[in-house]
A and B are shown apart, each in its own frame.
Chain A
């Protein structure tokens, strides 16, 4: 059976499974639609959180970034896992105790102000839409390869499927489908990693394989070999640091607090029955996430090694040691068709030269006239990885299904958070308190559709690779939502004015900093300064600025609160009440 048919079969089968589950557990009330009736077991909730969390960025994009950035990509690994520690200790149990549906609802009540609730909605929508753009980029890449069409067509196909899928179920359907999607995506991610690790190092566990010696008998460690080849080809060494320490520090911090501030993740902890379940559920979520996140470094390193060895078949500079274009494997041609991989025979020798800036001087003397791999979109690495390693077709089909599962589950979770903010908080909560449940559900489904269209259009010209776009979303969540929530729980004296000023400062400063370098509303060509380290303030990249924005948010909120009236008595009691688990709202209270 050829690859295309097989991929259709595998992807089709997984889709049938998701749809079957979605229909079996369809939401009938708003409580089921938003928080699955609050009856989800913590381990299952952890698994669903894992799928919700691990998006196209984690599945498709992250290992590609690791492959090309090496050590510097550690910011994604630490940032996207360390946030769960903050979530488990600083937010999840208290928000569960409070027991409402959405993040803006908590902020509106705690800061006794509809303005605060509106600002929270604004923050939530800005961060979530940016995040969905990243997903759309990933979905576009997966579909363009899988349907063998160009990127734009793949993106539209993806939008249609997300639309049908997300509008269907609501949280109850999404939770149970996400559990299935977790299983699909983790299987799809680890199987090729095990094969490749076994092939390269003889050790089937990728986490150990990455630290082992190559199985070619020379006794050289894989990572040392990779450093050596990178160096020979004029690339920066894999395991050494390339960017600035300050930027790495702030980026990791932004991703961590952004993780804890992302509404679609926080909402997941509203779905468990008890406060203590919220604590352990964060742990279980991280267990399921860690399985992928500790595998990713191996996938990245091994993909990079295989890619370089495929193109540079022998010693650098030796005759015939570069791959002839006519002999390029089928994956090479397939990815060229999507436009995400481009080769240009600059010196017309019919062979492919792939090298970095460190080799420029020597390259000229060998008759090489520039790096001929003019475009290697990093987002293709995970999907191409099994083909590069020569794994059987069913593994490749499985990876396509896994990537789509990852993108779908996260897009659905995010769209749900956006829909809830618009229908539950904005309409029901503020502007049209009289609408009934049915109208509220209809409004949230319309909001989902609108969000998909906006994100899809912006996804056509994404401001970076999927994981980088997603990093911007985290910066926005970090600078606006996390500080407001944390102060709401831990600082009793922070009042409405402080919280509102803080959120606006955090969101505003971060958004302006990002748009300054990425273009207003991410529209290409409208940026005020070129997006590179020389122009950044103190060398802080736009993706790292969220940590600075969060700091400003904290400072402004605390200062303003100090000089204005204390929150009223009943709010202080509310804060005291959410700090203890006893008296939690019952599982089916809504």
Chain B
């Protein structure tokens, strides 16, 4: 059986990568970089505005499912899954 600390390390790595994406699309694109991004257009939306009011939310949803799937895989790999 593989070690619990290795499982935890892999989990933390996955969480950190996910949270970087989470931070970049909301705080990054939606707030800090909103002005430069607003010079790009997505139809009637300015891109920074779109990230702040639409895009970040779609990405959050995707992010949770990707995380959940990877974690379920990790659980099986380390044999710590339920039932």
| CB atoms of B64 and A84 under 8 A apart | yes
User: Measured between C-beta atoms, what is the minimum distance from B82 to chain A in Å?
Assistant: 5
- At the interface, is chain B mostly helix, strand, loop or mixed? helix
Contacts A88-B68, A276-B75: A78 and B57 contacting too (C-beta < 8 A)? yes
Contacts A279-B67, A286-B60: A207 and B26 contacting too (C-beta < 8 A)? no
Q: Does A316 contact B (CB under 8 A)?
A: no
| CB atoms of A78 and B30 under 8 A apart | yes
Q: Bound complex: CA of A226 vs CA of B7, how far in Å? A: 52
| CB atoms of B4 and A249 under 8 A apart | no
| CB atoms of B44 and A223 under 8 A apart | yes
| CB atoms of B15 and A89 under 8 A apart | yes
CB-defined A-B contacts under 8 Å, sample of 11: A77-B52, A85-B18, A212-B44, A276-B71, A279-B67, A279-B68, A280-B65, A282-B68, A294-B54, A581-B75, A581-B82
List residues of chain A with CB within 8 A of the CB of B58: 290, 294
Given contacts A78-B57, A221-B44, A297-B54, 11 further A-B contacts (CB under 8 A): A74-B49, A77-B57, A86-B22, A89-B19, A210-B44, A275-B82, A279-B71, A286-B61, A287-B61, A293-B57, A294-B57
Q: Bound complex: CA of A102 vs CA of B52, how far in Å? A: 34
| CB atoms of A82 and B68 under 8 A apart | no
Q: Does A230 contact B (CB under 8 A)?
A: no
| CB atoms of B60 and A85 under 8 A apart | yes
Q: Bound complex: CA of A30 vs CA of B68, how far in Å? A: 30
Residue of A at shortest CB range from B45?
A211
Q: Does A274 contact B (CB under 8 A)?
A: yes
User: Measured between C-beta atoms, what is the minimum distance from A283 to chain B in Å?
Assistant: 4
Residue of B at shortest CB range from A293?
B57
Q: Bound complex: CA of A74 vs CA of B8, how far in Å? A: 35
Q: Does B80 contact A (CB under 8 A)?
A: yes
List residues of chain A with CB within 8 A of the CB of B43: 208, 211-212, 221
Residue of A at shortest CB range from B8?
A579
Q: Does A322 contact B (CB under 8 A)?
A: no
User: Measured between C-beta atoms, what is the minimum distance from B3 to chain A in Å?
Assistant: 11
List residues of chain A with CB within 8 A of the CB of B42: 211
Residue of A at shortest CB range from B5?
A576
- The contact string, 1 if C-beta is below 8 Å from chain A, for chain B 30-63, is 1110110010001111100110111011101101
Q: Does A570 contact B (CB under 8 A)?
A: no
| CB atoms of B26 and A71 under 8 A apart | no
Residue of B at shortest CB range from A580?
B80
Which residues of chain A have a CB within 8 Å of any CB of chain B? 66, 71, 74, 77-78, 81-82, 84-86, 88-90, 93, 207-208, 210-213, 221-224, 239, 241, 245, 248-249, 252-253, 274-276, 279-280, 282-283, 286-287, 290, 293-294, 297, 576, 579-584
| CB atoms of B52 and A579 under 8 A apart | no
Residue of B at shortest CB range from A285?
B64
Q: Which of A248, A279, A581 touches B80 (beta carbons < 8 Å)? A: A581
| CB atoms of B4 and A576 under 8 A apart | yes
Q: Which of A90, A239, A582 touches B49 (beta carbons < 8 Å)? A: A239
List residues of chain A with CB within 8 A of the CB of B79: 582
Which residues of chain B have a CB within 8 Å of any CB of chain A? 4, 7-8, 11, 15, 18-19, 22, 26-27, 30-32, 34-35, 38, 42-46, 49-50, 52-54, 56-58, 60-61, 63-65, 67-68, 71-72, 75, 78-83
Best-buried of A90, A286, A576 by chain B (most CB within 10 Å): A286
| CB atoms of A82 and B56 under 8 A apart | yes
Residue of B at shortest CB range from A283?
B64
| CB atoms of B27 and A249 under 8 A apart | yes
- At the interface, is chain A mostly helix, strand, loop or mixed? helix
Q: Bound complex: CA of A86 vs CA of B68, how far in Å? A: 13
| CB atoms of A90 and B81 under 8 A apart | no
Q: Which of A223, A248, A581 touches B81 (beta carbons < 8 Å)? A: A581
Q: Give the 6 A-B CB pairs with smallest separation, nearest first.
A: A221-B44, A74-B52, A283-B64, A279-B68, A211-B43, A211-B44
Q: Bound complex: CA of A186 vs CA of B38, how far in Å? A: 31
List residues of chain B with CB within 8 A of the CB of A207: 54
List residues of chain B with CB within 8 A of the CB of A280: 65, 68
| CB atoms of B7 and A580 under 8 A apart | yes
Contacts A89-B15, A279-B71: A290 and B57 contacting too (C-beta < 8 A)? yes
| CB atoms of B60 and A84 under 8 A apart | yes
List residues of chain A with CB within 8 A of the CB of B68: 88, 276, 279-280, 282-283
| CB atoms of B19 and A239 under 8 A apart | no
Q: Bound complex: CA of A90 vs CA of B63, how far in Å? A: 13
Best-buried of B53, B63, B67 by chain A (most CB within 10 Å): B53
User: Measured between C-beta atoms, what is the minimum distance from A91 to chain B in Å?
Assistant: 11
Residue of B at shortest CB range from A222?
B44
Q: Bound complex: CA of A212 vs CA of B41, how far in Å? A: 12
Q: Bound complex: CA of A315 vs CA of B26, how far in Å? A: 38
Residue of A at shortest CB range from B53?
A297
User: Measured between C-beta atoms, what is the minimum distance from A303 to chain B in Å?
Assistant: 15
Q: Bound complex: CA of A77 vs CA of B80, how far in Å? A: 36
Q: Which of A210, A245, A276, A581 touches B45 (beta carbons < 8 Å)? A: A210
| CB atoms of B72 and A276 under 8 A apart | yes
Contacts A239-B46, A245-B32, A576-B4: A582 and B56 contacting too (C-beta < 8 A)? no
| CB atoms of A78 and B26 under 8 A apart | yes
Q: Which of B34, B46, B57, B78 touches A81 (beta carbons < 8 Å)? A: B57
Q: Bound complex: CA of A584 vs CA of B22, how far in Å? A: 29
| CB atoms of B44 and A252 under 8 A apart | no
User: Measured between C-beta atoms, what is the minimum distance from B1 to chain A in Å?
Assistant: 11
List residues of chain B with CB within 8 A of the CB of A89: 15, 18-19, 64, 67
Contacts A212-B43, A286-B61: A77 and B27 contacting too (C-beta < 8 A)? no
List residues of chain A with CB within 8 A of the CB of B83: 274
User: Measured between C-beta atoms, what is the minimum distance from A364 to chain B in Å?
Assistant: 33
List residues of chain A with CB within 8 A of the CB of B49: 71, 74, 223, 239
Q: Which of B8, B52, B64 touches A286 (beta carbons < 8 Å)? A: B64
| CB atoms of B34 and A241 under 8 A apart | yes
User: Measured between C-beta atoms, what is the minimum distance from A337 to chain B in Å?
Assistant: 33
